[in-house]
Amino acid sequence: MTRVRRSILFMPGDSLRKITKAATQLTADAIVMDLEDGVALDRKEEARQIVTEACLSLDFGHREKLIRINPTNTSWWMDDITQTLDAKPDGYVIPKVESGPDLKKICDFLSEAEHTRGVEPHSIHLIAIIETARGVLLLPEIAGATKRLSALAFGSEDLAGDIGAIRTPEGWEVFYARSAVVTAAAAYRLDAIDTIYPNFQDPEGLKKEALFARQMGYRGKMAIHPGQIKPINQVFFPSPEEIKYAQELLEIHEKHQAEGTGAFAYKGKMVDMPMIRSAQKIIEQVTSLQSRSIHHQD
């Protein structure tokens, strides 16, 4: 079944109360327990303990259970993995990934830790956040670095700071990088997750930006506040018209395949395999959500 990643909510790793609410009450598709920016330097150790407790004691239901570790250029990332691995998260989110070796270093360490701890080999996947100029330039190397990688996420705020850009509502200063991330994700068959929207009190602005990201090809968006989940989920779910069109397209495609014909015309457009694959993805997403009994307006 296709994993649905419309909304990816970040929660501070040192707050069991907030993690509990996210895991049991909120409708985000993924919960990221943060050990990086969301935790003060003197609370890293406590946060690891809280995250481990949360993973072991809470029922996350359909929600993907993720942990964001500290960057590989810090002294904390190995302890982040070592002290949380027994909790068996679904995956680790890696910030500020700048090269293939960044990911390979984590993969080698993780594989050894899995073996030592008796955790199923390669059962834990990775999501890489691209948020520096170097990371953007080395995207092909990063995207192809490991089979553990399941998604690329775009971090616009750190990128803007790295390149010295001035952030604007239109976002043209980071558009090149945003396009590069979604293109690399598609090329390597990875999910593409869009950047956060900092103003959590602006739902209309969030919807507008999320819609633009979906039109670019992104499958979901990171969230920093519970109030952002519903607008993001709504935008990244196909409309009834899209679902109906996809169903019709696949039915007609199947009929033409049975008759031995390839491309065909439908409603004034020539239909070929890229359009069929797009329709298939829509139906797969809908089917996956229906299996979780989640309405698209959640």
| Whole-number pLDDT of residue 2 | 65
pLDDT tens readout for residues 145-181: 999 999 999 999 999 999 999 999 899 999 999 999 9
Burial class (CB in 10 A: 0-12, 13-18, 19+), 262: exposed
- 7 φ, ψ (degrees, to nearest 5): -120, 130
pLDDT tens readout for residues 263-291: 778 777 877 777 788 888 888 878 777 76
In angstroms, rounded to a whole number, what is the distance separating the alpha carbons of residues 93 and 96?
10
pLDDT(40) > 80: yes
Residue 162's H or E segment, with its range, is helix 156-163
Average of per-residue pLDDT values in the chain: 91
Domain boundaries, the chain: 7-235, 240-291
pLDDT tens readout for residues 61-94: 999 999 999 999 999 999 999 999 999 999 999 9
Mean pLDDT of 98-123: 93
| Whole-number pLDDT of residue 69 | 98
In angstroms, rounded to a whole number, what is the distance separating the alpha carbons of residues 238 and 232?
12
pLDDT band at 248 (very low <50, low <70, confident <90, very high): confident
Q: Are 154 and 195 in contact (CB under 8 A)?
A: yes
| Whole-number pLDDT of residue 292 | 66
- 222 φ, ψ (degrees, to nearest 5): -75, 145
In angstroms, rounded to a whole number, what is the distance separating the alpha carbons of residues 93 and 128?
6
**First and final C-alpha spacing in the chain:** 20
Q: Which CATH number does 7-235 carry?
A: 3.20.20.60
| Whole-number pLDDT of residue 204 | 95
In angstroms, rounded to a whole number, what is the distance separating the alpha carbons of residues 152 and 10?
16
- DSSP designation for 198: S
Catalytic residue check, 272: yes
- Which of the residues 37, 86, 108, 272 is marked catalytic? 272
* Partners of 265 in beta bridges: 270
pLDDT band at 298 (very low <50, low <70, confident <90, very high): low
* Partners of 264 in beta bridges: 271
Mean pLDDT of 93-108: 96
